[in-house]
Amino acid sequence: MGNIRVGIDVGGTFTDFTVLDDETGGMRHFKVSSTPHDPSEAIEIGIASFEGRGLRASDVVHFGHGTTVATNMVIERRGGKTGLLTTEGFRDVLEIGRQTRPDLFDMSVRKPDPLVVRPLRLEVAERLGPDGEVIVPLDEAGVEDAAKRFRAEGVEAIAIGFLHSYRNAAHERRAAEIVRKHLPDVFVSLSSDVLPEFREYERISTTVMNAYLMPRMDGYLDRFMKRSRQAGIDAKPYTIHSNGGLMSTETARNYPVRTCLSGPAAGVVGAALVGKAASFPDIITYDVGGTSTDVALIAGGKPAYSADRDVAGYSIRCAMVDVSVIGAGGGSIAWLDDAGGLKVGPQSAAAVPGPAAYGKGGTDATITDANIVLQRLNPIALLDGAMPVDREAALSAISAVAGKIGRSVEDTAWGIIRIAVANMARAIRAVSMDKGHDLKQFALMAFGGAGPLHASLVAAETGLDTVIIPESPGTMCARGVLLSDVTRDFVSTQIKRARGEGWTEITTAVAGLERRAREWLEAETIPDDKRALQHVAEARYAGQNHEIRVEGILSSAEDFAARFAEAHRVVYGYALDNHPVEIVNLRVQAIGHAGRPLQTVESASGTMADARVGERDVYVGPEGGWKTVPVYKRALMPQGEKFAGPAIIEELTSTAYVLPDQTGVVDAYGNIILSFVKDRA
Above 90 in pLDDT, residue 533?
yes
The CB-side HSE value for 5 (13 A sphere, CA atoms) comes to 24
Q: What is the pLDDT of residues 75-129, one digit of tens each?
A: 778 899 999 999 999 999 988 887 777 677 777 777 888 999 999 999 999 999 9
Q: What is the mean pLDDT of the chain?
A: 89
3-state secondary structure 341-410: CEEEEEEECCCCCCCHHHCCCCCCCEHHHHHHHCCCCCCCEECCCCEECCHHHHHHHHHHHHHHHCCCHH
Determine the pLDDT at residue 264.
Answer: 81
Distance, CA of 260 to CA of 210 (rounded, Å): 10
Residue-level length of the chain = 681
Torsion sign (Cα): 612, 618, 622, 624: positive
Cβ atoms 332, 346 nearer than 8 A? yes
Distance, CA of 367 to CA of 354 (rounded, Å): 11
Distance, CA of 564 to CA of 301 (rounded, Å): 20
Give the residue with greater pLDDT, 185 vs 525. Answer: 185
Determine the pLDDT at residue 141.
Answer: 96
Distance, CA of 224 to CA of 44 (rounded, Å): 8
Determine the pLDDT at residue 392.
Answer: 93
Please report, for the chain, how many H helices and E strands are present, in that order.
17, 35
**Which pLDDT band, with edges at 50, 70 and 90, does 431 fall under?**
confident
> DSSP code of 639?
B
The CB-side HSE value for 233 (13 A sphere, CA atoms) comes to 30
Domain 1-67 sits in CATH 3.20.20.70: no
Determine the pLDDT at residue 627.
Answer: 94
Above 60 in pLDDT, residue 681?
no
Q: What is the pLDDT of residues 285-298, one digit of tens each?
A: 999 877 778 899 99
Q: Where in 389-526 does DSSP place strands (E)?
A: 443-447, 466-469, 486-497
Other Cβ atoms closer than 10 A to 178 = 19
Distance, CA of 355 to CA of 360 (rounded, Å): 8
Q: What is the pLDDT of residues 564-611, one digit of tens each?
A: 999 999 888 899 988 999 999 999 999 988 766 677 888 889 999 999
Helix 39-48 × helix 200-230 angle, to 10°: 40
Determine the pLDDT at residue 13.
Answer: 66
Cβ atoms 235, 266 nearer than 8 A? no
Q: What percent of the chain has pLDDT over 90?
A: 50
Other Cβ atoms closer than 10 A to 108 = 5
Q: Edge-to-edge strands of the sheet including 612-619?
A: 612-619, 626-633, 647-650, 655-658
Above 60 in pLDDT, residue 563?
yes
Helix 200-230 × helix 69-76 angle, to 10°: 120
Determine the pLDDT at residue 679.
Answer: 57
Domain ranges, ordered by start, for the chain = 1-67, 75-219, 332-418, 486-592
List of residues 6+ apart from 458 with CB closer than 8 A? 286, 421, 424, 425, 428, 444, 464
The C-alpha angle with vertex 216 and arms to 213 and 220, in degrees rounded to 5, equals 120
DSSP secondary structure of 309-328: EEETTEEEEEEEE--EEES-
**Of 51-65, 156-170, 229-243, where does the model show the most confidence?**
156-170
| pTM of this structure | 0.82
The candidate with the shortest Cα–Cα distance to 187, out of 148, 216, 161, 144, is: 216
Give the residue with greater pLDDT, 454 vs 652. Answer: 454
Other Cβ atoms closer than 10 A to 339 = 5
Give the residue with greater pLDDT, 314 vs 188. Answer: 188
Give the residue with greater pLDDT, 680 vs 200. Answer: 200
Above 70 in pLDDT, residue 181?
yes
φ/ψ of 96, rounded to 5, equals -70, -45
Q: What is the pLDDT of residues 444-496, one digit of tens each?
A: 999 988 899 999 999 999 999 999 999 888 888 888 888 888 888 898 998 99
Q: Where in 22-140 does DSSP place strands (E)?
A: 27-33, 60-67, 82-87, 121-124, 127-128, 134-136
* CATH number assigned to the domain covering 486-592: 3.30.1490
